[in-house]
Amino acid sequence: MTAAEHEVPRLRRDFAALRADFPALRQLVHGKPLAYLDNAASSQSPAVVHEATALQQRLNHSNVHRGVHSLSERATAAFEAARDKVRGFINAASTKEVIFTRGTTESINLVAASFGRRLAPGDEVLITWLEHHSNIVPWQLLCERSGARLVVAPIRDDGSLDVAAFETRLCNRTKIAAFAHVSNALGTINPVAELTRKAHAAGAVVLIDGAQAVPHLRVDVRELDCDFYAFSGHKMYGPTGTGVLYGKTAVLETMPPYQGGGDMILTVSFERSTYNALPYKFEAGTPNITGVVGLGAAVDYLETIDFDAVRDHEHALLEHATRRLLADVPGAKVVGTAPGKAAVLSFVIDGIHAHDLGTIVDREGVAIRTGHHCAMPVMDRFGVAATARASFAFYNDFGDVDRLIAGLHRAVEIFRG
């Protein structure tokens, strides 16, 4: 074997070349090239993901795990291969710790419904003011059922978490601490390893909402030492309707099934049922097989990319966008200025509603998100009804940013003459 054959493949960092892998970015919107800046809601998918899902539907469409015919065996092999790819991607100890769900929301609901059964009156669930509704409402429902209390740690004026206040709210009544790795509304990156250590010291189990982190940061669940980590396929360049709940084996083994049905059982009689091993105990019914195969393809794609370069590129885009917004757009104000935040730019412009901004820049071919971003407490904290949000991915470039600023100029012209 030659030296070249022994060479480890170089990670890709040519973002102009990577952009060409995404067919959606080549289209026109209202007759203008698309500048897609709504990646915190859903990222676009590369052609390899489309090809993987098409192949699964075209040739390998069959149910998994229960068939002995060739199509079922191929579908099962592809489905379980995706599980192992996810395991490696987040450095889980075993495929038993990788549970496929419909997304971050279902992953969190699974933990609240299953692990949460042990909570009782007087117990507490600690979250932060930064959370997406998906990391608030399931805990509220749990507290209503169990009599436990929901406790919220505050954030500072720049959108960063008050870590000292988080720590003071931890006590022997705290059974679950749940917090975002990265805020979808502000881009704040939480010190999740530190928060996990503090929560464990108080005896709490930790769930991290990683929906906004996994596409942009290298995540090592064993290094973080969290008990649960939840994320979604559609934010990491994969299909919608796919997601993952990572859970430590020792914790998952103690939890009852989330839903009943096929594939999560070993035996069923009218007297009692016995349950399947991990991870299948938590995967009742026919899963989104095609979506999971596509998620595996997205993981394969991400494994070829230099995440350090991604961080630098996206940070440069954020800095450029922030500088131009504040210098060139009259009345613009950034909401969320935490140090070292992720590439999320939330902003308001005096006298112009966020929805109007979104509508006008769309006519210029620029896609941004407007509204409360499923984070209404964050909006309340900053005294705004809604923000406009531009969120960046590695396939974005400075031209996308400049077209956003031009679209915002157009909005100012329309509303101010």
pLDDT, tens digit, 9 for 90 and up, residues 354-367: 999 999 999 999 99
- b vs e for 320-348, b when ≥16 Cβ sit within 10 Å of the residue's Cβ? bbbebbeeebeebebbbbbeebbbbbbbb
Domain ranges within the chain, ordered by starting residue:
3-33+306-416, 51-302
Strands of 93-200, DSSP E: 98-101, 124-128, 149-153, 174-180
Instruction: Name the class of domain 3-33+306-416.
Output: alpha beta
Res 416 pLDDT > 50: yes
Q: How far apart are CA 264 and CA 281, in angstroms?
A: 4
Q: Give catalytic residues, as residue numbers.
A: 374
- Tell me which DSSP letter residue 8 carries: P
The whole-number average pLDDT for the span 283-293 is: 97
Q: Which two tokens stand for residue 73?
A: 């065996």
Q: How far apart are CA 169 and CA 372, in angstroms?
A: 27
Res 116 pLDDT > 60: yes
Distances 276 to 58, 87, 244, 253 between C-alpha atoms, Å: 30, 20, 19, 11
Give the contacts of 131 (CB within 8 A, at least 6 positions apart).
Answer: 178, 179, 180, 209, 375, 377
Please report the sign of the dihedral spanned by the C-alpha atoms of residue 252, residue 257, residue 262, residue 268: positive
Using one digit for the tens of pLDDT, what is the confidence trace for 36-45? 999 999 999 9
Nearest to 17 by CA among 299, 416, 331, 397: 397
Polymer length of the chain: 417
Using one digit for the tens of pLDDT, what is the confidence trace for 57-111? 999 999 999 889 999 999 999 999 999 999 999 999 999 999 999 999 999 999 9
Nearest to 36 by CA among 393, 398, 406: 393
pLDDT > 70 fraction of the chain, expressed in percent and rounded: 98
- Tell me which DSSP letter residue 256 carries: P
CATH code for the part of the protein at 51-302: 3.40.640.10
Nearest to 204 by CA among 114, 281, 115: 115
Q: How far apart are CA 238 and CA 9, in angstroms?
A: 23
